[in-house]
Amino acid sequence: MKKMMNLAKLEKTGVIAVVRGATKEEAIKASEALIAGGVTGIELTFTVPQADETIKELVESYQDQPDVIIGAGTVLDATTARLAIMAGAEFVVSPYFDVETAKICNLYQIPYLPGCMTITEMKEALKYGADIIKLFPGSAFGPSIVKAFKAPLPQLNIMPTGGVSLANMEEWFEAGVVAVGVGGNLLAPAAMGDFAAVTEMAKQYMDKFHSIKG
């Protein structure tokens, strides 16, 4: 039940922000700025210092806002996945498919979104219960690849990450993806400490998403 609710939240939010940061403080401020702009799906990467503590703080801060969903990104192994889940992560994203990570996520009923580039990887991920496949890097393909992957595997739920922008977001959704992961394009101002610009950018992405979904 918990897993289904989290998957529904991910699909509803549509735009998942990939949050990196040189410090824990920067990552928290960036996440707050995104949520203020309406981007309620946050993938906090484990490249952020003290990532598990950061996830815990964010989960606690937004526990009264049911639309907000906080997950962990750049999860390289099952140990890190468990650390993230114990901190309150509601979904787990990795740059590649890992069997042990899939098993730990299934054990705790947490959606697992592994990065895949080939039909073989995608098939393997599905076998181990991956709910959404992160097409990574999306910039290596473009939206037209989605139909090609879904032809033999129509049950695939795809989320492209890398190379998704305001300009091509509509093409991705028209191709049949369930959500998009956005990092650099959305968060560039955060590195300069301009969090107001992050909020503004988040609003533009959400306005675009809502206009696509009508």
What digits encode the pLDDT tens for the residues 128-183?
Answer: 999 999 999 999 989 999 999 999 999 999 999 999 999 999 999 999 999 999 99
- State the distance between the two ends of the chain, measured CA to CA, in whole angstroms: 28
- pTM for this model (two decimals): 0.97
Annotated catalytic residue 43:
yes
The predicted pLDDT at position 184 comes to 87
Q: What is the CATH number of domain 2-204?
A: 3.20.20.70
Q: Which residues of 36-67 are buried (b: 16+ CB within 10 A; e: fewer)?
A: ebbbbbbbbbbebeebbebbbbbbeebeeeee
Determine the average pLDDT of the residues in 26-35.
97
pLDDT in tens, 76-120: 999 999 999 999 999 999 999 999 999 999 999 999 999 999 999
CA distances from 84 to 46, 90, 181, 191 (A): 9, 9, 19, 24
Distance CA 124, CA 172 (A): 23
Active-site entry in 43, 57, 90, 208: 43
Averaged pLDDT score across all residues of the chain? 96
Domain boundaries, the chain: 2-204
The predicted pLDDT at position 1 comes to 84
Query: If you search the block for the tokens 């959400």, which residue do you land on?
Result: 206
